[in-house]
Chains A and B, each alone.
Chain A
Amino acid sequence: KAGVTQTPRYLIKTRGQQVTLSCSPISGHRSVSWYQQTPGQGLQFLFEYFSETQRNKGNFPGRFSGRQFSNSRSEMNVSTLELGDSALYLCASSLAIEGGNYGYTFGSGTRLTVV
């Protein structure tokens, strides 16, 4: 079955612009989580969506937002880009049934460079 698909793979934006990243989870997975990965900070949790509702949120400014559609596809948006937003953004999907113990399946990520 198809894995988690993230688009685009690479992106270059200018400071002040905004960007939208897309994630298509594995079919049947209703939970989608987003992570930011940088050399200095490691993997940092952005947010998680389950059945179109944001269920968990990390400690990122309001410039970072996301949403999930009825088909479980998710997008994250970053407005007013800063140089420090340059990172690999990873999306992960999970069955995430309450009380379950399923892990995440990750996409290959979107490499965002802000110049």
Chain B
Amino acid sequence: GDSVTQMEGPVTLSEEAFLTINCTYTATGYPSLFWYVQYPGEGLQLLLKATKADDKGSNKGFEATYRKETTSFHLEKGSVQVSDSAVYFCGIMDSWGKFQFGAGTQVVVTP
């Protein structure tokens, strides 16, 4: 079945550092790819998405590109802020609407 693998956390960074969170997936067909973010005590919020190969999703300075050849959807941000401290989830959705999440990666940004 479909699966998503994310790098384990926590990832600890200083403010203004570059952030990368790796995400790879296995799936049949052509899933849509998503990144969600969860702040403490809250539900998940959609951060960005990409629906076909080579699409780039972007939001709030975060970017991720749908790489079909490497089945990856790595999340990047050029300069993180303390407010970016959260748990980030990579996810895939097949054409039937079935969703699969990765285990989540906690990011801690220190001043």
Residues of A whose CB lies within 8 Å of any CB of B are 4, 6, 31, 33, 35, 42-43, 45, 48, 50, 55-56, 90, 92, 94, 96-109
Contacts and interface: CB of A to CB of B under 8 A. Distances in A.
A48 B99 CA distance: 10
A21 B45 CA distance: 20
Contact of A103 (B49, B96, B103): B49
B46 A104 contact: yes
B98 A48 contact: yes
Interface size class of B (residues with CB under 8 A): 20 to 34
Interface string B68-93: 00000000000000000000010101
Nearest to A99: B95
B60 to A, nearest CB: 16
A106 B42 CA distance: 10
Given A90-B44, A108-B42, A109-B43, A100 B97 contact: yes
Given A43-B104, A103-B34, A98 B43 contact: no
Main secondary structure of the interface of B (DSSP, over half): strand
Main secondary structure of the interface of A (DSSP, over half): strand
A55 B98 CA distance: 9
A67 to B, nearest CB: 18
A30 B9 CA distance: 35
A97 B100 CA distance: 17
A90 B96 contact: no
Given A56-B98, A108-B43, A103 B104 contact: no
B101 A106 contact: no
Contacts of B32: 101, 103
Contacts of A6: 43
A104 B95 contact: no
A56 B93 CA distance: 13
Contacts of A90: 43-44
B51 interface: yes
